[in-house]
Amino acid sequence: MDFLNNYIFYIGAFGLIFIGLYILLTRKNLIKLIIGLSIVDTGVNLLIICMGYLKNGTAPIFSRKGLNPETMVDPTPQALVLTSIVIGVAVLAMALSLAIRLYQHYGTLDMRKIKEQKW
Amino acid sequence: MVTVMKILEIIVSPLVALIVGIFFLGLFRKMMARIQWRYGPPLIQPVIDLVRLFNQRGFSHGAVFDLGIILSLAGALVLVLFIPIGGMCPLANSGGLLVILYVMLFAPIGIALSGGEGANPNISIGISRKLILTLSYEVPFIFIILSLMSYYQTISIVEIVKAQAHYHWSLFSPLFLSGVAYFMILPAMLGIRPFDMASAPQEISSGIDVEYGGKYLAFSQIEHALSLFIVIALFVNLFLGGGNLPVFLLKMLAVFVCGVFIHASFPRFRIEQATKYLWFWPTIISFISLIVIQLIR
Amino acid sequence: MLIQSILIIAFGGAFLTYILGKASSALRDFLAVLISVSLTVLIFLAYGKTGEIAFASFMNLPLVLRINHLSWFFAIAIQTVTTLSVIFSLSYMKGKERVDFYYLMMLLCNSAMLGIVLSGDFVSFYIFWEIMSWSAFLLISYNRGGALYAGMKYIVMSIIGSMCMLIGIMSLYSTYGTLNIREIHDLISTASGEYLLFISILFLAAFGVKSALWPIHVWLPPAHSEAPSPFSAVLSSILIKMGIYGFVLILYVISGAALYLGLGGGSFRYILTLLAAITIIIPTFNALMQDDAKRLLAWSSIAQIGYIILGISIGTSLGLIGGLFHFFNHVAFKALLFLAVGAIEYRTGTRDLNSLGGLIKKMPVTFIAVLAGTFGLIGIPLTNGFVSKWLIYKTLILNNHPFLAFAALVGTWGTILYSYKLIHNIFLGQLPENLEHTKPAPASMKLPFIILSVVIVLFGILPGIPLKLINLITASLGFDLLNINIWGIASESGPLNIINIFAAFAVALIVVWFFFLISGKKVVISQDNSYAAGIDVPKGKYHYTVDFYNPMFRMIKPYFRDYMDEFYSQLVKALASLSDRVRRLYCGDLGVYVIYIVLFLSILVISKIGLNLW
Amino acid sequence: MVNPILLIIAPLSAAFIIPLMGYGLKRIVKFIPPLVMGFNLVVSLSLAPKVIKNPIIVFLGGFPPPFGINLYVGPLGILFSCVISLVGFIVSIYALNYIKQGAEQKYHALYLLLLTGATGIVLTGDIFNLFVFYEILCISSYALVGYTGEKAGIESASKYLIQGSLGSSLILIAIALLYGKFGTLNMADMASRIDSVHTMELFFPLVLFITGMGVESAIFPLNAWLPDAHSSAPSTISAILSGIAIKIGIYALCRVIFTIFGATDILQFLMLLGLVTLLVGEFSAFSQDNIKRMLAYSSTGQIGLIVFAMGVGTQYGISGGLFQFTTHALSKSLLFLTTGYMIYRAGSMKISALEGMGKKMPLTSVAFTIGAFSLIGLPPFIGFPSKFMIVYSVLARQSGLYIVFLALVLAGTVIEGAYFFKVIQAIYFKGERKDDRAKEAPLSALIPVIILVLLIIGIGIYPKVLTSILDSSAAELLDRIGYIKEALK
């Protein structure tokens, strides 16, 4: 139980990453691939967050009295994750817009059939 | 005194070669006639022919036609000067056997140039055959020359003759196989049967001689006589020990008679057959000889 | 200062010619000739000078120019041939496309070659070497069509060679910390045998490619036959000789004779001489089978390179002198032959030996040039080729290499056959109807013919002139001085005395000529009026020299295919198909690409965790 | 002294001003990138002499590292920044006339963003900041590849995007792991705490970094996106992607391996990786008939050479690798720029379509030839000194294995020579062009090309101009302790 308590976030994070990778490896539809990519991204974000997570931690505000610096959560990962989410959104938007144009050109999103650029 | 002797040698040795060569031509015809149970022409018939030809009109096809024949005869005359004839050797110190190998080129090249200008199909065939034949017999010939030169460690033919006088003839030394090989290619070098395809009279109208008449034919005959002399003289010098003038000429006569018998008893090869033959037995024998020389040295 | 000005004029002149060509073609031609001639004069003035000068630096390495007898000897040969080729080009290139470019590359190549022989360290050597390589490539490709393939073959092999050289040079640098040739020579005696062998093999590959040593000769026949003829002359007579210069440099200037002879227990020399002997025999017979005049000459160049390398690699003073002299002679007669064939191609539009003939009446000067050239090539006495070949044979025989001597001698008889084919098929025989209005070669072509023919005959009769210089070169490389006089060589083991041969010939020719004149009249008749033993000779013109050596071909053709060329083509084919396979890794399927990424990651992980590789 | 942060700020702000200007000042939009990049070039060059002596550290948040984000402007950073702004400047001049169709402003904005990302990566001293700039670079290059909206471009961009994002996710995982381990994001601080790479916890981040950055830096087998993207983008983009973007990946990789991890024990593996990349790239390029694809594969090969040289791991080797980076940045952008107008005039990317161009576009053809010669490493062009340094550095290791590696590398060069010479022959000596459509490229394209040619020849003849900055850059990479000391001062 203790194990689960300590590592549940890691398991969750890596679980999500592997699910995303699995999708990337097995699915052929571009939309699904983008979803997979998004899941990997979520997993990574979770991983970053849990790097600074403390059980029963408090907000990292030094000016408020009564909060113990020892139990404060590391704020940096949260800042990182915000950035990372923004980047993720940008990539997602980019990917989806490309997918739309791709569909207009090929009439399909099956990546097995979109193989004009090769060799 | 030495200079006078030298100049005398320079004048005498081509004359000797010329006389002996023309005599051999006459003897050749006489002996062939006798072998074929004919009476044959007199011995001096070639001289009579030459005199007549010199006075006849000759047809020329152009400048190179003249130049070639002159070049070939001059080359043959110069070559004689390099060969010791019974102690006479005017150009002993001018490069030795290697130069002889090269001066030997003049005659065929001159004839070939002259014939090429003639633009006669028979000449073309004749030249082609002659050059191929030359290349064919040169392969064993080079092996033989190399065996000699590396056995005696000199490139001078005079030295080789001297060495034989001290010890014994090359033919009865480790060079025996070379001598055999030389004897085997001798008909090819002389251009007699079975190797007379370059000037086959019946087949290609005497090949390279076909356009020659008058003085051209005379020059060609003289050149032929000289080369007959040179090839046999080389053999005598290299393998039979040379000797003073009478002995030398006797040895030459002996070799020549052997040649006539070979000529009389064989039919003509086709050119491919000749090449195959020359590149097989004589080459192998001379090659073995060269290896033997390398081993015993 | 003189050396620098030579190079500055050479390189600057090349570019100036190009720029001027945009303005006026007459001015360009004039400038090209002016620059070549003035360079020739400058190099002549540099005779006998020795010196070394650092003129720049590259990556903290000083670039050194130096001149001595060896480099002067090569430089004068280079510049003379280029000058004559440029003069020849004046009419040859008239009206062709991209003439500015042609002159630029010609002069650039010339400058680079001058740079090679004048450079005193390996960096500048390499830089000039590469400039030479690519400028030659651009000129070889000039003629389009088959020339493209020839150019590719040339440049690929050339790059392989120069890569070998680069490794060798850098290895020397990393070992000795200097690339100055003189300093390396001082340091190299401390090298271990294996290291020296390693370096020598690398340089052997580099110089072997350039000088077309068998089995890395395959670029030469197409390149020489497809290039514009004046440049073929440059290619054949001097560009491939840069390989020879390299051999002399690495074997004698750097290693020195003693080290070289002991290399790999003597086996290095043995293999090199063996390769040289093969280089004589196989290309000679290949030349015999060619019907393209320039291709015939190209194969003949390879064979002659074999003689030169044989002479150089035998490691005796006589051999080295013979090799260097033969280099010089080959420069003269091969340039002459290529230029002459170029003139014939210029006037008749073909160089196919089967469709030419009878041109002696139309182009007499060209005929004399070819005659002199082939006589030199064969080595007929009284031409320069005879003396050098004699020297090589003599050293081979007296140093007990009878089999090498055999190769050399047989090569000579093969040379006679193809030389005669060249003369006969072009100049003798019947004149085809379509060539009846052929004009003689223009004056700018005749000038090089005359100069080179004179060189061939002059140095054949007076071999002492160049031999004196070569003797100095070999003496500076640590060999004994030979006893050389103006007529030849005096030595105990068989002297050479050209005066005797010359006098004998002169007398014999006069005597025979005299008899020729006093004897019966001659009547000049037409060529068609020939006797064919009663067989009707057709009225149409026949060329009796097609398949001239047919009986011979039938016998040797199966054995003398260019096996190495076929081998390399197979290799290239295999490489091309391999490259096509490799390309298919990028199959276009995104899923596969993702698999690549994941696979790469897992391989990295497994190699650490599972296999503990790193 | 100019604050180096301007190098990042200027293109970034310009990138966002451009769309705003699109409302009224459409005409002058295209002059902004050359201006900004020219400014960057001047700033970088003016900083270079100082930086070689002492690196400049800029605190972004106002407080020093390890807590604040800092810029570390060392010789390596300034070398890259110089090359980026130089190539960026030249390509933007070229683009003045070349980019006509499509969304012109977006192109310019994205172009500046890409260069912002690249400059940011090479100057930053913070690993997460590096990641952010990395993403800026990547996203703008996805967009640029597909910005024409043509079929090929869109397809390549989508594929590039999937692979690139996967790669950046891996980098992010690695950063997270490192942060979890050390609680810091500053590279110097991180480096000071890593003593060895032998522990497993450090191994995973390293592997993830190599894989993730390998995707952008196009190491085999992670480079499948490259030929597609480079060949289907407009030539200016191909030039900038080939000349800059993939090199930035190499930069990041080297930073991570040399500075953060100090992982000298994987250098041999890096060498092998470089070798395989080189051979695969050259082989694939060999039988291409599409000129841009050929150039793209050749880029892969050159990346392999750079990685190989980095893997030698000596001062001289890394200098050689960086020199080769400069060579490739100049030569490959020259090649892409020259082929740009050739393709435009010929109307096809087939090599056979370029036949006879030598007559119609003489200057462009000569420039192409010079670029190709330089890439092959022929003197007197810039490729020669770089190849010289690499070969020397490998041989100076005095090891038999290295000589075998070197032989293979040079074999790759031979193949490269073969296909480049084939193209040169096609341009000059093949075919006749009868149509009059093909004429010389406009002046706006010729000026950048001529600048590049002059640089290539100039540096090739006088490589000393680069040696001092190369040497101190290599020293910066090799001297971890010095880097840490300087950054945490």
With vertex at residue D454, the alpha carbon angle to CA D448 and CA D456, rounded to the nearest 5 degrees, is 100
If one compares D133 and C511, the residue with the highest pLDDT of the two is: D133
- Grouping H, G, I as helix, E, B as strand and the rest as coil, residue D61 is coil
Q: Where are the domains of chain B?
A: 2-296
Structure tokens at A107: 């009439």
Residues in chain D: 489
Q: Is the domain of C422 the same as that of C339?
A: yes
pLDDT at res. D116: 92
The predicted structure's pLDDT at residue D101:
66
Residue spans of the domains in chain A: they are 2-106
pLDDT tier, C542 (very low <50, low <70, confident <90, very high otherwise): low
Answer yes or no: do C503 and C567 share one domain.
no
CATH number for the A2-106 domain, one of 1.10.287.3510, 1.10.8.60, 1.10.8.80, 1.10.599.10?
A: 1.10.287.3510
**Interface contact D406-C597, CB threshold 8 A:** no
8 Å CB contact between D133 and D171: no
Least confident of A69-78, C274-283, D37-46: A69-78
C326 and C398, same domain (yes or no) = yes
Contacts of D365 in chain C (CB under 8 A): none
Chain B nearest C-alpha distance from C383 (Å): 11
Handedness of CA D5, D7, D12, D18 (dihedral sign): positive
Q: Is the pLDDT of residue C374 over 60?
A: yes
Cα–Cα dist C258/B297, whole Å: 25
ipTM over 0.90: no
Determine whether the interchain pair B58/C416 forms a contact, defined as Cβ–Cβ distance below 8 Å: no
Place of tokens 């030495």: B2
Average pLDDT over residues C50-64: 82
Nearest CB partner across the interface for B146, out of C397, C414, C521: C397
Which pLDDT score is estimated for D304?
Answer: 92
C396: exposed, middle or buried (Cβ count in 10 Å: 0-12, 13-18, 19+): buried
Alpha-carbon gap, residue D418 to C137, rounded angstroms: 12
Neighbours of chain A (3+ CB pairs under 8 A): C, D
Mutate to test the interface with C, among D156, D216, D286, D468 (most CBs of C within 10 A): D286
Interfacial D residues in 283-302 facing C (CB < 8 Å): 283-284, 286-288
Q: C488, C519, C550 — which closes off a domain?
A: C519
Scan for tokens 């945490």, then name that residue: D488
Q: Inspect the structure and tell me whether chains D and B have 3 or more CB pairs less than 8 Å apart.
A: no
Categorize the per-residue pLDDT at A95 as very low, low, confident or very high, splitting at 50, 70 and 90.
very high
CB distance D283–C582 less than 8 Å?
A: yes
Q: Token match 């013919």: residue?
A: C449
Q: Are C250 and C207 in contact (CB under 8 A)?
A: yes
How many structural domains does chain C have? 2
Check CB contact under 8 Å for D166 and A48: no
Give yes or no for residue C539 having a pLDDT over 60. no
CA distance D173 to chain A (A): 6
Q: CB contacts < 8 Å between B and C, how many?
A: 238
Contact C597 D421 (CB under 8 A): no
Residue where the block lists tokens 């073969």: D418
Burial class (CB in 10 A: 0-12, 13-18, 19+), B280: exposed
Q: Which residues pair with D290 in a beta bridge?
A: D350
Name which of D143, D155, D183 is nearest A114 (Cβ-Cβ).
D155
**H-type helices in chain B, by residue range?**
2-35, 45-55, 63-82, 96-103, 106-118, 121-152, 157-166, 176-190, 201-204, 215-239, 245-265, 271-278, 281-296
Going by C-alpha positions, the residue among A94, A99, C586 that lies closest to residue D227 is: C586
| Domain housing C450 | 299-519
Does residue C541 surpass a pLDDT of 70? Answer: no
Residue C95, phi-psi category: left (phi > 0), alpha (psi -120 to 50), beta (remainder): left
Question: What's the token pair of residue C5?
Answer: 């000005």
Question: Are C121 and C180 in contact, with CB atoms under 8 Å apart?
Answer: yes
For D362, half-sphere exposure in the C-beta direction (CA atoms, 13 angstrom radius) is: 5
Decide if C304 is inside a domain: yes
Whether residues B78 and C504 touch (CB distance < 8 A) is answered with: yes
pLDDT beneath 50: ranges in chain D: 197
Mean pLDDT of the region C382-390:
86
How far is C609 from C32, CA to CA, in rounded Å? 69
Chain D: closest CA distance from residue A66 (Å): 24
Residues of C with CB under 8 A from a CB of A: 583-584, 586-591, 594-595, 598
Can you name the residues that pair with C100 across neighbouring β-strands? none
C611 vs D246, residue with greater confidence:
D246
The answer to whether C452 and C333 are in contact (CB under 8 A) is yes
Distance from CA of B220 to the nearest CA of C (A): 12
Helices (H) and strands (E) counted in chain C, each on its own, are: 24, 6
Q: Please check whether residue D472 is in contact with residue D75, taking contact to mean a CB–CB distance below 8 angstroms.
A: yes
- As a whole number of angstroms, the distance between CA D456 and CA D460 comes to 6
Residues near C595 by beta carbon (within 8 Å), at least 6 away in sequence: A25
pLDDT at C538 over 70: no
- Distance CA(C404)–CA(C56), nearest Å, equals 45
pLDDT value at position B17?
87
Q: State the sign of the Cα–Cα–Cα–Cα dihedral B268, B270, B271, B273.
A: negative
Q: How many CA atoms lie within 13 A of C35 on its CB side?
A: 30
CA C148 to chain centre: 20
Residues C410-454 have pLDDT tens digits of 888 888 888 888 888 888 877 777 878 888 888 888 888 999 999
Low-confidence ranges of chain B (pLDDT < 70): 1, 93-95, 202-203, 205
pTM: 0.91
At residue C383, does pLDDT exceed 80? yes
Residue C575 lies in a domain: yes
User: Given the structure tokens 């005193």, which residue do they identify?
Assistant: C120
Quick check: D158 and A99 CB within 8 A? yes
What pLDDT score was predicted for residue C611? Answer: 66
Contact A117 D158 (CB under 8 A): no
What count of other Cβ atoms lies within 10 Å of the Cβ of residue D122? 29
What is the rounded CA–CA span in Å between residue C363 and residue C545?
19
Alpha carbon distance C25, C28 (integer Å): 5
Best CA proximity match to A44, nearest among A73, A71, A68, A9 = A9
User: How far apart, in whole angstroms, are the C-alpha atoms of residue D47 and residue C30?
Assistant: 51
Return the pLDDT at D89: 92
Cα separation, C384 vs C375, whole angstroms: 9
pLDDT at D277: 92
Question: From CA B282, how far away is CA B180, in angstroms rounded?
Answer: 8
How far apart, in Å, do the first and last CA atoms of chain B sit? 41
Q: What is the pLDDT of residues C317-368, one digit of tens each?
A: 888 888 999 999 999 989 999 999 888 888 888 888 888 877 888 888 888 8
Is C588 close to A118, i.e. CB distance below 8 A? yes
Predicted local confidence at residue C540, as pLDDT: 57
Pair C513, C570 in one domain: no
Segments in C289-383 forming alpha helices (H): 293-313, 317-348, 364-378
Q: Does the structure show a pLDDT above 70 at A1?
A: no
Interface test with A, best of C582, C594, C596 (most A CBs within 10 A): C594
Q: How many angstroms away from the CA of C163 is the closest CA of chain A?
A: 29
The answer, yes or no, to whether A and D have at least 3 beta-carbon pairs within 8 Å is yes
Q: Which residue has the tokens 């109208």?
A: B205
pLDDT tens profile D456-481 = 999 888 888 888 888 888 888 888 88
